[in-house]
Chain A
């Protein structure tokens, strides 16, 4: 009774044992791979088996015909003529043909199913691979194209910047040249002005000197002090 309880307890414990989540994804993939290769091996085996079956049936048919012929030869006093033999062959063929046909048909269907399953799996993998490859190619092409367009735009931008800089430099040079010309013109004008001023000043000085001389001349004749001084000076000299 106690053993019975122990067993019940053990069953209960084993039934309720904590099982980790699973199976892991890798295990499922690995198992699928093994199943696929096993199916492949089976398909090859089926093909061989089919040929062996056909061969066996053909061999059986030949043996049957030969046995029939032999039996007929032994049992019948008269020889089997060609017509009888053909009739026998036709009847054997008629009896065996549906069997062979059915067997062949079944084998072909089985093989086709196996191959179709395998092809389905392969086709799925292939499509997946092609899809990934196309996607990658499209991404690479898009990147290349966008890269080329970006490069072209950059080149255009660089050209535009260069043109603008050249134009600015030309304008700047022209402005500098104009400034220099203006400076030279101003210098020339100032120089002319100074020359003119000097000439006028010289003329004015000459006029002033003449005027002062005339004034002095008039002043000496009319002044008695100056006259006495002159007389004294003559006497001393004498």
Chain B
């Protein structure tokens, strides 16, 4: 087992994991669960294999965990889309309609991500939300760089298809 100082790792990468979790889940409570589970999974991974890029691993684990959680609350998410809070329309904020539109768009994307195969969803999130390179994604998913590129491309195509189907 690789000897790692988890206190230092936690202090250094906490924000990254938090942002990754919260961005995908959009709820504080779920993001906190995802945060903890990510570090526990990282510890278990460190027991099994040598870790070269801890931040990459944490982003991958956080993304995977968050997508799992999104899948679990898929039906609830669907209800969220249909029950958009219309009270926001009466808000004094400059763009309540834009806010509602933005929330709807984000919810649609989250929901669509849960419909993708796991590897595609992970690859897509790592590429577009965490700005990881094709090489880094490949390293994390244990595939070649080309295969990672294909995964990302297919994920994007599938998402477009899902968006089209809903329209």
Contact = CB atoms under 8 A, between A and B. Distances in A.
Interface string A23-56: 1100110111011101100100010000000000
Q: Majority SS of interface residues in chain A?
A: helix
Q: Majority SS of interface residues in chain B?
A: helix
A31 B35 contact: yes
A224 interface: no
A28 B91 CA distance: 35
A32 B10 contact: yes
Contacts of B119: none
Interface stretch (A5-13, A92-100, A202-210, A229-237): A5-13
B5 interface: yes
Interface stretch (A14-22, A77-85, A130-138, A140-148): A14-22
For chain B, give the interface size range: 35 or more
B6 A32 contact: yes
A186 interface: no
Contact of B109 (A10, A36, A46, A113): A10
Nearest to A25: B14
Given A15-B128, A113-B3, A35 B32 contact: no
Contacts of A24: 32
Contacts of B43: 35, 38-39, 42
20 contacts: A6-B167, A7-B156, A10-B109, A13-B106, A14-B110, A17-B106, A22-B18, A23-B14, A23-B17, A23-B32, A23-B35, A24-B32, A28-B10, A34-B36, A34-B39, A36-B6, A38-B43, A42-B1, A114-B3, A117-B3
